[in-house]
Chains A and B, each alone.
Chain A
Amino acid sequence: MFEIIKLELKIFFKKKKNIIAVLAFNLLLILVTNISSSLEHQKINGELGNTQLALESIEQSIAPLNEQYKETKDLNILKISKSCEEEKKIYENKKQAIKTGNTFDALKADIQIDEITLKGIENKTLISGESKDVVKDRLGKNKYLLNNNISPIYDVTMSSYNFLIAMGKEVLPLFLIILIFLFSGDMISRDSNMGTYKLLLIQPISRVKVLYSKIIAAIAASLIMVLGTLSVFFIGLGFIKGLGSPNYPMSFYDISGNKIINIGIAKFCIYFLAILIFIIIFYVSLASLISTITNNSTTSIGVSITLGISIFILNTQLKLAPKMAHLNPFTYMNIPNTLNGSFSIQFDNTNINYKSCLICIIIFTALNIIITTLIFKKRDVIC
């Protein structure tokens, strides 16, 4: 069995299509990382612009307030004017902090602004575009960051940990389908094409062992390629942009309490990688089934990719049968959104969580392998 696994791995790493697919995957990650980095700069500049606008708006309101106070001697107006002065100071500090890249001072300013906003919402002296809960949640998160000396990041910040989350949201859901089916969509049919199917099956080894050797090799190769590539980027970005704090708070759908809680980004990434491994195994099992049914490599790869993408789009983009979505393994392809509860909210289905994700994927993987085994064992080798 070990010899067949070794041979299959050898074939895998010699196949041009696999090398091209991995290169394309790397290029895509480089592209997305660069785009994200430039978006991060834009976000910082945008933040600076917004702060400047807020500052100008406060400055513009202070002068009339002061004049009004001179005329009316109304203490309330004086109070408002003074609070505006305080806010002006905060925004000036924030502006300075953004300019100098002092993230903690900017964070302090944000906390102060949110405290004022929250107070205003609670006292009904302020009408805000944001709800009280959103402001409260952000405030809590920012205070946690400040107390734990964690530098705040944007969604597009390409520090190592955040890179994994960002790729899990933006690149992997669709590209992983293409990548894994390209890698393993022809694991059985390839032998029919090359004429080596008969060579393998006339050896005194059980057919099941031949099949499982192929599946194990395809899983190993896919894991090496996907996790290897992600690891290289993780380490590389760690050197260039830093790992990021492992305790950076991430929203996580806690099924025991049925609520969203915050967990550290490192822990979040461990959940993410564990589910990613299961998803890769699921894709390989599906590819093995399709590859066993068809006798032609091109057909099996084409059918696998088309089927995978179609189900993915029907399920996650068009959101067909949202109440049943938790029973479909393709629902969970966007792992971060499964973990943070976004999909649960989007589908209005609380069953979409990491636990049902694992159960669903394991059941479908087992089913794929059982059906593949039955077909492979009983099948006549015609070509």
Chain B
Amino acid sequence: MKILEVNKVSKTLKKNKILNNISFSIDEGEIVGFVGPNGAGKTTTLKVITNLLYQDEGKVTIAGYDVSKNREEALSNIGAIIENPGLYTFLTGRENLEFIRKLRKISKEKMEDIIKFTGLKERIDDKVNKYSLGMKQRLALGMSLLTSPKLLLLDEPTNGLDPTGVEELRKTLKELSKQDNTSIFISSHQLSEIEKICDRVIFIKKGRIINLSKNILEKSGQVIKFKIEKGKEEKAKIIFKDCDFINSFKLNDEYFQINIKENALSNLLKLLSQNGIDFSDFHMVKDSVENQYDEIFKEI
């Protein structure tokens, strides 16, 4: 079942078309990355999904509810952190959680579980303005999860976190997705962080969704670049086309750039030697997702 469907959504802010006819969807239990450079429209998309911004055109549905028409029903299925952790800093961590707990009529036991989950048990009665950014992020995540949402929306959640914090967040999100079948939609401009936890990635550039038809993470693996002897290009193309461990390939200025599946490097070398194709200047490019990211956003 689709937990989120964004259908032909456009949004103009201050005469700038921020979102241009974007469409995508997320299935239950899926972790989806939402990647694009700064100003691409990631936060605007999240705000439209959460009804903080009203779309000019198109439709957003959460768990089957139209966000514009059935706002309350739709929003009751989500937990979200947008831009920065929105916390009442002069209240304690517990008071912040207590507010959401009472507002959404959630049991005390669930709140205690969340306090454990955030790892802030020792500091939960401290005022939030004494928390580090990482602690604030954890508390905000706890508040979003307090309602056991079907869809968790996270906007740049790794911002300000140290490497350990980022690693912890990754683990947490994976666990959430596995245990509670929570769908997670994470926006980031740092692809390296997204690709490790996401089932797939949606790219956005200048308010448009890019390469949505291809699930690039399924094709993730290694990108190899090499030069082959002249005159054998066409033969190579035919061989590569029928090969099941090659995701994609292209020929640029005598160089083949081939995207192969993980651990398929030896297969490639074998294939080349079996078909008598000599190669030179053989080197690995960045990993596939990052490479695609660069490809997509190189104009920016």
Interface residues on chain A, size class: 20 to 34
CB neighbours of B254 from chain A (8 A) = none
**Are A198 and B83 in contact, with the CB atoms below 8 A?**
yes
- Name the B residues within 8 Å of A134 (CB-CB): none
Say yes or no: is B53 at the interface (Cβ < 8 Å to chain A).
Answer: yes
User: Is the CB–CB distance between B53 and A10 below 8 Å?
Assistant: no
Choice from B87, B90, B102 contacting A3 with Cβ under 8 Å: B102
Q: Mark B159-184, 1 if CB is under 8 A from A, else 0.
A: 00000000000000000000000000
Alpha-carbon distance between A220 and B72 when the two chains are bound, in angstroms: 27
**A205 within 8 Å of B (CB atoms):** yes
Given the interface pairs A203-B104, A381-B47, A381-B52, the reply to whether A3 lies near B88 with Cβ below 8 Å is: no
Q: Is the CB of B90 within 8 A of A14?
A: yes
B155 to chain A, nearest CB (A): 10
Total interface residues on B, CB under 8 Å, equals 32
B99 proximal to A (CB < 8 A):
yes
B73 touches A381 (CB 8 A): no
Contacts of B75 in A (CB 8 A): 202-204
Q: Is the CB of A196 within 8 A of B53?
A: no
- B-chain residues with CB within 8 Å of residue A196 when the two chains form the complex: 86-88
What is the minimal beta-carbon distance from A375 to any residue of chain B, in angstroms? 13
Q: Are A202 and B84 in contact (CB under 8 A)?
A: no
Interface residues of B in 36-55 (CB under 8 A from A): 47, 50-54
A4 within 8 A of B: yes
A198 to B73, alpha carbons, bound, how many Å? 17
B53 close to A381 (CB less than 8 A): yes
Is B145 positioned at the interface, with any CB of A under 8 Å from its CB?
A: no
Asked if residues A194 and B83 are in contact (CB atoms below 8 Å), the reply is: no
Q: Please, how many angstroms separate the alpha-carbon atoms of A285 and B95 in the complex?
A: 28
Interface residues in B72-88 by Cβ distance below 8 A to A read 72-76, 78, 80, 82-88
Query: When chains A and B are docked, how far (Å) is the Cα of A196 from the Cα of B217?
Result: 35
- B99 partner residues in chain A, CB cutoff 8 A: 3, 7
Q: Which of A4, A198, A382 contacts B103 (CB 8 A)?
A: A4
* CB of A371, distance to nearest CB on chain B (Å): 19
How far is it, in angstroms, between the C-alpha of A11 and the C-alpha of B127 when the chains are bound?
Answer: 13
Closest Cβ–Cβ distance, residue A173 to chain B (whole Å): 33
Task: Give every chain A residue within 8 A of B85 (Cβ-Cβ).
Answer: 195
Contact of B52 among A10, A14, A201 (CB under 8 A): A201
A197 shortest CB reach to chain B, Å: 7
- Considering only CB atoms, which chain B residue lies closest to A197 in the complex? B86
Is A204 touching B52 in the complex (CB atoms < 8 A)? no
Q: How far is the CB of B120 from chain A (nearest CB, A)?
A: 17
What separation, in Å, do the CA atoms of A196 and B84 have in the docked complex?
9
> Is residue A130 contacting chain B, with contact meaning CB distance below 8 A?
no
Q: Which of A1-35 contact B (CB under 8 A)?
A: 3-4, 7, 10-11, 14
Q: Is A133 an interface residue (CB 8 A)?
A: no
Known contacts A3-B99, A198-B82; A378 and B72 CB within 8 A of each other: no
Chain A residue with the shortest CB-CB distance to B73: A204
Chain B residue nearest to A377 (CB atoms) is B54
A3–B89 CB distance below 8 A: no
A199 interface residue (CB < 8 Å to B): yes
A205, B102: Cβ atoms under 8 Å?
no
Q: Assess whether B214 is interfacial by the CB under 8 Å rule.
A: no
B3 to chain A, nearest CB (A): 16
CA A161 – CA B78 in complex, angstroms? 56
A230 to B233 alpha-carbon distance, docked (Å): 93
A380 at the interface (CB under 8 A from B): yes
Given contacts A196-B87, A381-B47, contact A202 B104 (CB under 8 A): no
Q: Is A128 close to B, CB under 8 A?
A: no
Those of B57-98 within 8 Å (CB) of chain A: 71-76, 78, 80, 82-91, 95
By the criterion CB–CB under 8 Å, are B52 and A202 in contact? yes
Nearest Cβ distance between residue B51 and chain A, in whole angstroms? 8
Chain B residue at minimal CB-CB distance from A203: B103
CA A198 – CA B143 in complex, angstroms? 13
9 pairs across A/B with beta carbons < 8 Å? A7-B99, A14-B91, A195-B86, A199-B143, A200-B86, A202-B78, A204-B104, A206-B72, A381-B47
3 nearest A-B pairs in the assembled complex, by CB-CB distance: A199-B86, A381-B52, A204-B76
Chain B contacts to A: CB under 8 angstroms: 13, 47, 50-54, 71-76, 78, 80, 82-91, 95, 99-100, 102-104, 143
Given contacts A195-B86, A203-B104, 16 further A-B contacts (CB under 8 A): A10-B95, A11-B88, A11-B90, A194-B88, A194-B89, A195-B84, A195-B85, A195-B87, A198-B52, A201-B51, A202-B51, A204-B71, A204-B73, A204-B74, A205-B72, A378-B54
